[in-house]
Amino acid sequence: MPRVPFLSLSDRTVATGDSQAFAETVSLMLRLQDCDSLLPDQGFESVTGVVQLGQVSVLATSGSPVDAVAEAVEYSTFMLPYPGCDVRYRIDGKSYLNNHDDTILHIPPVGWKLQSQTSLLAGLSMLVPAPQLLSTATAMGAGSVPLASLSAALQTTAPLCTSDRRGGAILNGLYRFFGFVESVLQGQAMVPEILRLDDLLVRQLLLLMLPGLGEAVVPALPPSAREPWFEQLLDWIDANCHRPLSLSELEERSCYSRRALQYAFKQRFGCGPMHWVRRRRLQQARQLLLEAAPGTTVQQVSLACGYINLSSFSRDYRQEFGRKASDDLRWRA
């Protein structure tokens, strides 16, 4: 079977030898009405795993092909097949062949029929709440894309081409993203919400759906990093950096596109907005270390400030302050 992420995580996978049991496993997400094995004479086997990233659900599966009918759900579904898997979907009277060569298929909240064209069904299904998809697209576009155009794209079943250079780069980035998430879950039960990986995933899917979204040229008079709106945004970040923050949320609050916001932060601080959020969290971490109660560890502080890897935290801390985090903790002691 091809290497599908998350299926090595035994605590969140289900293996079954029955197509109906497979349907029950995924029914809370995809709500399969009918599900039959396409090759009943060859037996049936399937391994399924579910990973939750914020409000986004990722369903990983690998196993025997099925013929299934799904009800409409309140999610937009993105189907990413893996090598050796070709799947045909029947949606609103139209047929779509989704294969591993060049497409991710976007299915809006409508019912659909699935049938594998090969002897294997393997890949990922990403379910994104429709309101989150729309709000993120609106924030990324910052008014540069008409709301009607956004709504139309989000309501249309369409293959998202990844065969060109740009799409291929995004797809490869998604593979690396899922590998990273899997590595995190091998060491702990959950992905820290403060990382807002759901926002990162949704943004990449939207860039495949709407090429150029958020890429509008910075206007001749770009947003100044000294205007009141920017100072207010910085104050808001300082007041909220203890909780999960996403780039989409910063864009929405600033009312500027991604490129314009990047320009303003680089003009002022020499870094992007999310890098600035990380630097402010390091400031927060230093304060926590200097005021730590007896028994507090550097790792506890790093986790509280959004780091899942102690070595990464230690490296960034030393780079930011020129000293070890453990030194500041010992100084307090």
Q: How far apart are the first and last CA of the chain?
A: 54
CA atoms 254, 259, 262, 263: torsion sign: negative
How confident is the model at residue 235, as a pLDDT?
92
Per-residue pLDDT of the chain (333 residues; tens, 9 = 90+): 458 999 988 888 899 998 888 888 888 788 888 888 888 888 889 999 999 999 999 999 999 988 999 888 889 999 999 877 889 999 988 999 887 766 899 999 999 998 888 888 899 999 999 999 988 988 887 666 677 777 888 899 999 988 889 999 999 999 999 999 999 898 888 888 888 999 999 999 999 998 877 665 555 445 665 678 888 999 999 999 888 899 999 988 887 777 888 888 998 899 999 999 999 999 999 999 998 888 889 988 988 887 877 888 899 999 999 999 998 887 655
- Number of Cβ within 10 Å of residue 320's Cβ equals 15
Which two structure tokens, joined as six digits, stand for 325? 């985090």
User: Domains, the chain, ranges and CATH?
Assistant: 10-173 (2.60.120.10), 217-333 (1.10.10.60)
Distance between CA atoms of residues 260 and 266, nearest Å: 10
Question: What is the largest distance, in Å, between two alpha-carbon atoms of the chain?
Answer: 70
CA atoms 262, 218, 131, 94: torsion sign: negative
Question: 301: closest CA among 332, 185, 310?
Answer: 310
Distance between CA atoms of residues 223 and 294, nearest Å: 46
Question: 123: closest CA among 181, 65, 76, 191?
Answer: 65
Question: 76: closest CA among 30, 11, 13?
Answer: 30
How confident is the model at residue 223, as a pLDDT?
60
Q: What are phi and psi of 74, to 5 degrees?
A: -85, 15
- How many helices and strands (H and E) does the chain possess? 12, 12
How confident is the model at residue 1, as a pLDDT?
43
